[in-house]
Chain A
Amino acid sequence: MTERAGLYVHVPFCLTRCGYCDFNTYAGLDHLAGRYVESLRAEARLTSPEWSGATFVSMFLGGGTPTTMPSKTIAGLIAHLRESFALEPTAEVTSEANPDTVDEPYLVGLLEAGVTRLSMGVQSFDPVVLDSLERIHSPQSARAAFTAARAAGPSDVNLDLIYGAHGESLDSWQRTLDEAIAMGPEHLSCYALTIEPATPLGRKVAAGLVPPPDPDLQAEMYDLTCSALGAAGYEHYEVSNWAKPGHRCVHNLGYWDGRPYLGLGAGAHSFRDARRWWNVRPPQEYLELVASGQLPTGGEEHLTDEERGLERLLLGLRTADGVPKEWLDPARADRFVADGLAVSRNGHVALTDRGMLLANELTLSL
Chain B
Amino acid sequence: MDQALIRNFCIVAHIDHGKSTLADRFLELTHSVAERQMRDQYLDRMDLERERGITIKAQAVRLRYAPSPGAPDYELNLIDTPGHVDFTYEVSRSLAACEGAILLVDAAQGIEAQTLANFHLAREAGLAIIPALNKIDLPAADPDEVARELAALVGGEPADVLRVSAKSGDGVPALLDAVIDHVPAPSGDPAAPLRALVFDSTYDPYRGVIAYLRVVDGEIRGRDRILFLSNRFVSESEEVGAFAPEPEPVPSLSAGDVGYLVTGVKDVRHAKVGDTVTLARHGATSPLPGYRDPKPMVWSGLFPAEGGDYPLLRDALDKLKLSDASLVYEPESSLALGFGFRCGFLGLLHMDIVKERLEREFNLELIATAPNVEFLVRRGEETTTVHNPSEMPAPGTYDDVEEPFVIATVVTPSTYLGPVMDLCQSRRGSLQDLKYLSPERAEIHYLLPLAEIIFDFFDQLKSRTRGYASLDYEHWGYEPSDLVRVDVLLQGEPVDAFSSVVHREKSYAYGRVMTERLQKLIPRQLYEVAIQATIGSRVIARETVRAKRKDVLAKCYGGDITRKRKLLEKQKEGKKRMRRVGRVDVPQEAFIAALRVDQGAVGERK
Contacts and interface: CB of A to CB of B under 8 A. Distances in A.
B140 interface: no
A23 B560 CA distance: 10
A314 B568 contact: yes
Given A239-B556, A318-B556, A358 B561 contact: no
Interface string A15-53: 000000001000000000000000000000000000000
Interface string A306-337: 01001100110010000000000000000000
B571 A315 contact: no
A191 B569 CA distance: 22
Interface in B539-590: 548-562, 564-565, 568-569, 571-572, 575
B250 interface: no
B565 A360 contact: no
Interface residues of A, number: 44
Given A310-B565, A314-B564, A314-B565, A357 B552 contact: yes
Interface stretch (A77-85, A140-148, A262-270): A262-270
Interface in B441-500: none
Contacts of B552: 192, 239, 318, 356-360
Given A219-B549, A310-B565, A239 B554 contact: yes
B interface residue count range (under 10 / 10 to 19 / 20 to 34 / 35 or more): 20 to 34
A240 interface: yes
Interface in B507-561: 525-527, 548-561
Interface in A92-117: none
Contact of A364 (B549, B550, B568): B568
Given A240-B555, A360-B571, A363-B568, A219 B550 contact: yes
B526 A261 contact: no
A62 to B, nearest CB: 7
B554 A215 contact: no
A341 B548 CA distance: 12
Given A358-B526, A364-B575, A365-B526, A215 B549 contact: yes
B380 to A, nearest CB: 48
Given A301-B562, A314-B568, A361-B548, A252 B553 contact: no
Contacts of A222: 550
Contacts of A310: 565, 568-569
A173 interface: no
A360 B556 CA distance: 12
B565 A307 contact: yes
A344 interface: no
Contacts of B559: 8, 255, 261, 263, 268-271, 278
A278 B525 CA distance: 35
B37 to A, nearest CB: 50
Contacts of B526: 341, 358, 361-362, 365
A25 B347 CA distance: 61
Given A215-B549, A263-B559, A240 B565 contact: no
Contact of A194 (B555, B557, B569): B555
A191 B557 CA distance: 12
Nearest to B552: A359
A359 B556 CA distance: 12
Contacts of A363: 568
A276 B562 contact: yes
Contacts of B527: 339
A197 to B, nearest CB: 12
A307 B556 CA distance: 16
Contact of A357 (B525, B549, B572): B549
17 contacts: A23-B558, A194-B554, A239-B554, A256-B556, A263-B559, A276-B561, A301-B562, A307-B565, A310-B568, A356-B552, A358-B550, A358-B551, A360-B552, A360-B553, A364-B568, A364-B571, A364-B572
Interface of B: 525-527, 548-562, 564-565, 568-569, 571-572, 575
Nearest first, the 6 closest Cβ-Cβ pairs linking A and B are A269-B559, A219-B549, A191-B554, A359-B552, A192-B554, A361-B551
Interface of A: 8, 23, 62, 191-194, 215-216, 218-219, 222, 239-240, 252, 255-256, 261, 263, 268-271, 276, 278, 301, 307, 310-311, 314-315, 318, 339, 341, 356-365
Given A255-B561, A301-B562, A356-B552, 14 more contacts: A191-B555, A192-B552, A216-B550, A219-B550, A239-B554, A255-B557, A269-B559, A271-B559, A311-B561, A311-B565, A357-B550, A360-B568, A361-B525, A362-B526
